[in-house]
Amino acid sequence: MVKQERHFVLVHGACHGAWCWYKVATQLESMGHQVTALDMAASGIHPKQVHEIHSISDYFEPLTEFMASLPPEERVILVGHSKGGYCISAAMERFPEKVAVAVFATAFMPGPELTSETLSQKLIERMDSDKLMDTHFAFLNGMDEPATSILLGPNFMASKLYQLSPPEDLTLALTLARHDVVYKDEESMKATAVTKEKYGSVRRVYIVCNKDNVMKEDYQRWMIGNNPPDEVKVISDSDHMVMFSKPYELCSCLQDIAEKYT
């Protein structure tokens, strides 16, 4: 039994939803913690459709609204996976006093001097030559304009995200995945920008997954080197979907973080 209940807020990555935390949420709750797994806009079972999301701020509005609804004295543990790192960073910037610690699980980790644009460019540079394989892009503004949404392809998901995860979890993901918004406009850059004064006042832990085939370990280490967190943990033999391939190890890390930082 844990000595104290903590409140974990879990944020998913691109094309996924709150459903992807089902193993971790169950385990954390069995350990006596409170868990809130959120769907970002147009993700999971969120009612909005992708064409209704006009900015990255719209995308992480469910997290913004949740943070705003917390009692003034409550401080949560934010956990972001993959694209969810941008969401929790925005929450840290807006509500630093409500975050006990932020955990980036093989996630994008922007910083005051590390923009989302730089993170995206470096990721593309370090990806394999086959890049996004059978991933599908939609162009709601016309083929001459930038893509507006992305749906990760089944072959890409199987070989780059889920290669070490149970096959039934890949089947679940292929059933539930939804198109995810793509925004590279100036407004989105501003919405994901963070400062030393606010974001920088929140303690951060990065969880490296060393068998991630999309955000490879050298890329994760590059982010860590350019925006050092308070602590780095490693989950060995985990693919990108650490909540499926190594759920118990992830929960153990989260428990350790909760005990140390709250």
Q: Which residues form the catalytic set?
A: 82, 212, 240
Residue recorded with tokens 């943070």:
67
Residue recorded with tokens 């190594």:
246
Interatomic CA distance for residues 14 and 151, integer angstroms: 9
Interatomic CA distance for residues 205 and 251, integer angstroms: 14
3-state secondary structure of 87: helix
- The answer to whether the CB of 171 falls within 8 A of the CB of 164 is no
- The answer to whether the CB of 1 falls within 8 A of the CB of 71 is no
Contacting residues for 3 by C-beta, under 8 A, at least 6 apart: none
What are the DSSP E strand ranges found in 148-250? 149-151, 180-181, 204-209, 231-235
Please give the C-alpha separations between residue 258 and each of 65, 96, 254, in angstroms, as whole numbers.
Answer: 23, 17, 6
In angstroms, the first-to-last Cα distance of the chain is 16
Question: Which of 259, 118, 140, 187 minimizes the C-alpha distance to 251?
Answer: 259
Interatomic CA distance for residues 193 and 179, integer angstroms: 24
